[in-house]
A and B are shown apart, each in its own frame.
Chain A
Amino acid sequence: MSTPARRRLMRDLKVDPPDGVSASPLTDNVMIWNAIIIGPADTPFEDGTFRLSINFDEQYPNKPPQVKFLSTMFHPNVYASGELCLDILQNRWSPTFDVASILTSVQSLLNDPNISSPANVEAANLYKDHTSQYAKRVRETVEKSWADDLMDNEDDDEMEE
């Protein structure tokens, strides 16, 4: 079955993702993608492998997809549920954005949080006033992200097996 959304997603798949980002749809459902963002170097998120799920609906690309972190995050613009507070995923969405551009903006958001509209107030306050403590908390999430991912991978692998 080929809808405009699916065709568009297939095109997105052909586009090379940016550096430090891996993204691929589920084998059985093109509308749900799993992505991994590697934390940019020289930031507290360095070496972290953060998993995201991107859920597209049939209105894509006219409507933005739902992007959500699967790994636990400690970031001023990420809710506890993992949902992101990113303008281009809400009111500033444009149909010309694709998976690669979404992930690039999420990656850049990691090191440049938007303090003016915090989703995680504690993280925002720490980022503002106690940078070292903020970095420490982020490092914890980074280490957690490795463990989570390995577990998830094993699960996936088992399923595939």
Chain B
Amino acid sequence: MSEKRELNDVVNGSDQTQKRRKVDEISEDGPLTQEDVVYFQKEAIFRQMNLYRSKVNQVHKQMQTLDEQNKSTNSKLLVLSNWIDQFIEFITSVVPLKELESKSEYKILFTDSPNDIKDNEFIESLNQKKTQLSDLINKIIQNSGAIPDEIKENLNTINSKYHDLKIKNQKITNEYSLLKKNFDNLTIDFQNLVKTSDRLNSITLKRANGTKSEDVSRADTPKAEQLEISIPKDQAESQLNSNGINNTVNSDEVEYLKKQVDEFKATIEAQQKNIDENLELNKSLNSKLVEATTKNQTSIESQSTVDVAKFEDLTNEHKDLNIKYKEIIQKHDSLLERYNALESEKSSDNDLLNSKFEVEKQSLESNFGKLEFDLIRIRTARDELLSKISVLEAEKSGLEVTKQLQALIEAQKEQIETISLEKKLEDKIGGSDINDVETLKKNNTILTNELKEFEKAFKNLQNTNIKKLNSSVDSETVINKLKIEKTKADQKYFAAMRSKDSILQENKTLKAQNGKLNELIQNLKDSEALSTSRFENLDKQLKNLKKVEFFRGHEVDRYVQQISELEKNYKFELNRNKEIQTLLDDFKGKNDELLKLKSEYSIKVSKLESNVKTQDKLINRFKSTGVLEDQNEADSFRSLIYCSLCSKNWKNTAIKVCGHVFCEECAKERIAARMRKCPSCNKQFSTNDLLTIHL
């Protein structure tokens, strides 16, 4: 297709001048050729280079500025270090220091010039100087003892100034950063703009993106203009050219149509003039009408406005007063309601509290009585127990007597034994003396009798003793029981005392509540008095308002009469106005008719113009060599007619399922290859779905 051109381009090398030529040579239509792409590449590279160049320039500028900054900072640093040196020297010379050795050290340190040292070292030296300076100052301060006040003040002022400057510095740095951001954004924008402008200027881009470039459109527009210009000359040209009969016939037609158009234009102009005149008339009438209506209105208004205004004011006032009156009544009602509610609440509260109080009091009193009764009972029980105890104690003394009796009995037993022993001895001894024996026997019998009696007495005593013992044991158990009862009674007594205390406390609290309630009642009474006073005030206001209302009513009546008169006047004027309006309506109807006529004419004109345009187009088509378009049309028709798969055969087989059309060969081939889906829409089809069609 384009090998020859491409060859030429390559032979011409790749200079800038060559590029120009290439741009000139760029193909204007049809598909992109290889050399078009090459141009495009070159331009793209050129654009990118420009971009990079601008970036490099920016970087260079930045470098320069940074260099300058560096220099200035260096010089400042030098000055600073020198200044510090001088300062130290000055201080050492002025202030008489005790440590002369240190002085010499400082001097040695400051002999090096900062120019010879590298950055890091320089910074280190600066730091050292700083520390030395601070040391020196500290020493001076220590030496001089207390600092003079002046210096202190100076120091303070300097410190404050330093602080302010610091804040300012921060602000400035912030602003600087903001500005820098803005600047960066701007540079980016600028770059983008440059890029877009480059892209807009590049012909190849337009070519690539198929915007058919301005050249084509330019070429088109002049042609069109020429055609337009040439229309008047058409007759002559057609006569001269005599290319075909068709052309001349068409030009004749165009001439005829032109004449017609001219005629129509003339008529339209005439109509336009008529319409304009009518419109002017209409306007004047309108203005007259407006004047008349304004006059009417002014006459009416001048009479009535003042009165009406007054009346309106009065009615307004009346309304306001009414509203106020209603409001006051509402307030009054609400206050009354509130008062009633408060009173009812108060009484109900009182009743409740009293009833509660009484109930509690009664319960407490009954409790109290019970407790007292208990106390008395407990006391009586205690007394009884005490008496029992005394009885038991007496019985205890009786027990002791029995013991003594027992001891006596034992002693008697011993005597008896001794006596019996003596008797036996006597028996043994006095065997010989029978008399004696008899007497002795008598004695013995007597003694045995006595013994028996003793034994009897002893047995009786023992029995009585045992009885007494049993009775004492019983009494002891009774005492124990009584003791337990006593402790229980004591506990009950204490509990009763406690409950009595609690009752007393409750009594106190109830009394306090009562006092509070009394205060509340007092408050409520006060509020009641206040509300009653308010109520009286409101009543007074109400009376005043009623009086005012009465007066207003009289005034209103008067004004109503005036208003009726004014209304009569107004009706009369309205009638007049209506008459004028009807006149105006008539004029308007006339105007509408004229406008309709105008629109009809304009529609006719536009139709004729469109006719002219179609004729022009027809002429153009016949004039331009219709060969190319024909070819294009033929191509498109061919692509329509030929099968889209093989583009060899005509379309003659439709797939009934989806309606797409291919050639028989392709369709059968697809079925044979088991690809039973429509190539266009992937719908399944079978042999039965094929339909031969005849174009």
Residue ranges of A at the interface with B (Cβ–Cβ < 8 Å): 4, 7-8, 10-11, 14-24, 27, 36, 38, 41, 47-49, 61-62, 94-96, 143, 146, 149-150, 153-154, 157, 160-161
Specify the chain B residue showing the minimal Cβ separation from A149: B41
With A47-B47, A47-B48, A94-B680: A16-B31 Cβ-Cβ less than 8 Å: yes
Decide if B38 touches A21 in the complex (CB within 8 Å): no
Decide if B645 touches A22 in the complex (CB within 8 Å): no
- Counting CB contacts under 8 A, is B670 at the interface? yes
Specify the chain B residue showing the minimal Cβ separation from A158: B10
Specify the chain A residue showing the minimal Cβ separation from B205: A41
Enumerate chain B residues within 8 angstroms of A17, measured Cβ to Cβ.
31-32
Query: Nearest chain A CB to B676's CB is how many angstroms away?
Result: 13
Residue ranges of B at the interface with A (Cβ–Cβ < 8 Å): 1, 3, 6-7, 10, 30-34, 36-38, 40-41, 44-45, 47-48, 199, 205, 208-210, 635, 639, 642, 644-648, 670, 673, 675, 679-680, 682
* Chain A binding surface SS class: mixed
Enumerate chain A residues within 8 angstroms of B32, measured Cβ to Cβ.
17, 20-22, 36
Decide if A4 touches B33 in the complex (CB within 8 Å): no
With A16-B30, A27-B3, A146-B41: A96-B644 Cβ-Cβ less than 8 Å: yes
Decide if A94 touches B208 in the complex (CB within 8 Å): no
Decide if A8 touches B647 in the complex (CB within 8 Å): yes
Enumerate chain B residues within 8 angstroms of A24, measured Cβ to Cβ.
1, 34
Decide if A22 touches B646 in the complex (CB within 8 Å): no
Decide if B10 touches A146 in the complex (CB within 8 Å): no
Decide if A8 touches B645 in the complex (CB within 8 Å): yes
Enumerate chain A residues within 8 angstroms of B45, measured Cβ to Cβ.
146
Partner of A4, one of B208, B646, B682: B646
Decide if B646 touches A41 in the complex (CB within 8 Å): no
Enumerate chain A residues within 8 angstroms of B36, measured Cβ to Cβ.
22
Query: Nearest chain B CB to A34's CB is how many angstroms away?
Result: 9
Decide if B31 touches A22 in the complex (CB within 8 Å): yes
With A8-B647, A20-B210: A150-B670 Cβ-Cβ less than 8 Å: no
Decide if B646 touches A7 in the complex (CB within 8 Å): yes
Enumerate chain A residues within 8 angstroms of B635, measured Cβ to Cβ.
14
Decide if B673 touches A62 in the complex (CB within 8 Å): yes
**Can you identify 24 A-B contacts, CB atoms within 8 angstroms?**
A8-B647, A11-B647, A14-B635, A15-B639, A16-B30, A22-B31, A22-B36, A38-B37, A38-B40, A47-B44, A49-B44, A61-B645, A62-B645, A62-B673, A94-B679, A94-B680, A95-B645, A95-B679, A96-B645, A96-B679, A157-B7, A157-B10, A160-B6, A161-B7
Q: Which of A14, A41, A47, A161 has the largest count of B CB atoms less than 10 A from its CB? A: A47
A9 to B21 alpha-carbon distance, docked (Å):
34
Count, A-B residue pairs, CB within 8 A: 91
Enumerate chain A residues within 8 angstroms of B3, measured Cβ to Cβ.
27, 160
Decide if A19 touches B210 in the complex (CB within 8 Å): yes
Decide if A20 touches B7 in the complex (CB within 8 Å): no
Enumerate chain B residues within 8 angstroms of A41, measured Cβ to Cβ.
199, 205, 209
Decide if A36 touches B48 in the complex (CB within 8 Å): no
A48 to B43 alpha-carbon distance, docked (Å):
11
Query: Nearest chain A CB to B44's CB is how many angstroms away?
Result: 4
Decide if B34 touches A20 in the complex (CB within 8 Å): no
A146 to B47 alpha-carbon distance, docked (Å):
12
Specify the chain B residue showing the minimal Cβ separation from A39: B44
Contacts A11-B647, A20-B210, A61-B645 supplied; 15 other A-B pairs, CB < 8 Å: A4-B648, A16-B31, A18-B210, A20-B208, A38-B40, A38-B208, A41-B199, A41-B205, A49-B44, A62-B673, A94-B679, A96-B645, A146-B41, A150-B38, A150-B41
Specify the chain A residue showing the minimal Cβ separation from B662: A95
Enumerate chain A residues within 8 angstroms of B199, measured Cβ to Cβ.
41
Decide if B48 touches A96 in the complex (CB within 8 Å): no
Query: Nearest chain B CB to A26's CB is how many angstroms away?
Result: 11
A16 to B208 alpha-carbon distance, docked (Å):
13
Decide if A22 touches B33 in the complex (CB within 8 Å): yes
Partner of A153, one of B34, B48, B644: B34
A7 to B208 alpha-carbon distance, docked (Å):
28
Query: Nearest chain A CB to B342's CB is how many angstroms away?
Result: 74
Enumerate chain B residues within 8 angstroms of A153, measured Cβ to Cβ.
34, 38
Decide if B679 touches A20 in the complex (CB within 8 Å): no
Specify the chain A residue showing the minimal Cβ separation from B10: A157
Enumerate chain B residues within 8 angstroms of A18, measured Cβ to Cβ.
210
Decide if A49 touches B31 in the complex (CB within 8 Å): no
Query: Nearest chain A CB to B6's CB is how many angstroms away?
Result: 7
Query: Nearest chain B CB to A99's CB is how many angstroms away?
Result: 11
Query: Nearest chain B CB to A41's CB is how many angstroms away?
Result: 7
Query: Nearest chain A CB to B184's CB is how many angstroms away?
Result: 15
A33 to B645 alpha-carbon distance, docked (Å):
19
Query: Nearest chain A CB to B123's CB is how many angstroms away?
Result: 37
Q: Lowest 5 CB-CB distances: which A-B pairs, in order?
A: A19-B210, A11-B647, A22-B32, A95-B679, A47-B44
Query: Nearest chain A CB to B264's CB is how many angstroms away?
Result: 45
Decide if A96 touches B680 in the complex (CB within 8 Å): yes
Decide if A49 touches B37 in the complex (CB within 8 Å): yes
Query: Nearest chain B CB to A7's CB is how many angstroms away?
Result: 5
A126 to B634 alpha-carbon distance, docked (Å):
50
Query: Nearest chain B CB to A60's CB is how many angstroms away?
Result: 10
A160 to B205 alpha-carbon distance, docked (Å):
27
Enumerate chain A residues within 8 angstroms of B37, measured Cβ to Cβ.
22, 36, 38, 49, 149
